[in-house]
Structure 1
Amino acid sequence: MQFFSILMAAVAPGVALLAYFYLKDRYDTEPIHLVMKMFLFGVLIVFPTMVLQRALVHATSDDPFSFAFIISGGLEEFLKWFLLYYIIYRHTSFDEPYDGIVYAVAVSLGFATLENVIYAFFNYSSFSLLLLRAFLPVSGHAIFGVLMGYHLGQAKFHKEVETKHLLMSYFVPMFWHGMFDFILIQFPSNWAWLMVPFMIYLWVRSIKKVNRANSTSPLRLITREDEVKI
């Protein structure tokens, strides 16, 4: 019974956040099987990420900046970006800017959910700690997914600035992911004083991206025309 309780506590934050961002799609929700497929891919890339990170840790110096921005943020966000670019970017279901956010959040939360499950079973000490992880790493990955997906959507539907936004779709979440880890590493005793305003800022920024992506959907014009006819 305790096994099931811990598992549910570890999985619930990722599933809840994915549902939240999935339902924020105003005009044309994505095929649920494709969203879950990307979530599963996010789960699967945890294993090669762990292997590569271990190798990089042994190959580099013990430097907080390198670990935060290259080994953690750089590598994790690159693998997510790689999946999205080669599986979703040219997919026919990716037909409005907000779709990039849905799929990027799905990959990110798949990654975060397995990471949370591993932590829960190998480092579990209290339920309150799992709640803290829901606020920090899990929601952090969701935010990084929003930022990545927003720029992927801009790249796909604004060809004149495609290269710029493709680059931003990797480097923007990589930077904020690196900052997230750097704060935790560099300020082990008083990280909360920096992390709380940091997370609030990122959540506000992310919600603005969500609203902006929805507001630029080409499907909103079709929806309005249908409403007028009715």
Structure 2
Amino acid sequence: MIILAIALALAPVLALGMFVYLMDKYDREPLVWLVVAFIAGALSIYPAIEIERFFTTITIGRHYSDFGSLAIDAFLIVALTEELVKFIILRMLFYRKRFFTEPMNGIVYAVMLSLGFAAAESFRWLLVSNNVYNSALIRSFTAVPAHFVFAVFMGYFMGKARFTFSHRRAFLVFAGVFMAVLVHGTYDFFLLASWMPNGFNYLSFLFLAVSLVFSLKLILRAQKRSPFVRRRKWRKNLEQAQQQEFKDYLAGQKELLKKRVDQKRKKKKD
């Protein structure tokens, strides 16, 4: 049962990881560094948990009797802590690497970090759950895709910032963290409120679905910003031109051979 639950929890992690890897179609990242990002994301859950525990003890924290305390917990304690931890790792380990060659790389590394975080978080929940199968199933369709979405928002702006050489770079970095915290906090707020009397039932799932659509649009937009798009088009045009030139050459050789055969036949007749 536990093995099936772990497999169920990891399946969306692997699927989303493969998806973002394939979407990075112009200049794919070294697999070794993607694994490093995943492991770093998984390990980052420990400082995030300790920081959340610390702030929970000195604030009203997880008392969901009113929306104010709920907002503090969702946005400041959980979302801000987790996204800042992931941002620091992304900024320190990957942002300045020589293989960070296009805006799409920001999304790729942010997603791999978040998927590692989500995998470790799912495993942690399975250890304390009374029904591991249900917990794994629920997290497969909620928490894992949610962390994917948060990462896309952060990674998109981090990728833009990496290749922006002006005063706007700092703003774009801030925007990446802000958007990730905003989306993460809003999702958690609706999710926690749904368990309250007269709460926002199912609103968190609707918000997640809408956020997924936006994240896919950001991925496509980051793809178009790749400097390798023109190179690939140039290569394609060159290959087509070479193929056409080769076809013309073969046609010319065929025509020349035909003329020679005709000339030999005429000589034999003479």
Structure 1 length normalisation: TM-score? Answer: 0.95
Matches of 1:124 and 1:147 in 2, distance apart? 34
TM alignment of 1:1-230, pairs within 5 A: 2-62=1-61, 63-125=69-131, 127-160=133-166, 161-188=168-195, 191-230=200-239
SS in 1 for 2:221: helix
Matched AA of 2:101: D
1:194 CA displacement? 0.8
Identity %: 31
Q: Distance in 1 between matches of 2:22 and 2:130?
A: 31
Q: Which moved more, 1:215-224 or 1:190-199?
A: 190-199
Q: Shift in Å at residue 162 of structure 1?
A: 0.8
| SS of corresponding position for 2:80 | helix
Give the TM-score normalised by the residue count of structure 2: 0.81
Residue by residue over 1:152-196, the C-alpha shift from the partner in whole angstroms, topping out at 9 and shown as x without a partner, is 011011223211110011110001101111112222155443123
Which runs of 5 or more residues in structure 2 are unaligned? 62-68, 240-270
Aligned partners of 2:188 and 2:204 also within 8 Å: no
CA 1:124 to 1:103, structure 2 compared with 1: closer, same or farther past 3 Å? farther
Structure 1, unaligned stretches of length 5 or more?
none
| RCO higher in structure (CA 8 A, sep ≥6) | 1
| Equivalent residues, number | 229
Contact 2:102–2:226 (CA under 8 A) maintained in structure 1: yes
For residue 118 of structure 1, report the CA deviation from its aligned partner: 1.1
Pairwise CA distance, 1:129: 3.7
Summarize the Cα distance change of 1:159–1:18 in structure 2 as closer, same or farther, 3 Å threshold.
Answer: same
The CA distance in 1 between the partners of 2:228 and 2:178, in whole Å, is 28
Q: Contact 2:126 / 2:135 at 8 angstroms: preserved in 1?
A: no
Bigger radius of gyration, 1 or 2?
A: 2
Separation in 2 of the partners of 1:48 and 1:119?
17
Q: Which moved more, 1:124-133 or 1:144-153?
A: 124-133
1:141 maps to a residue whose letter is H
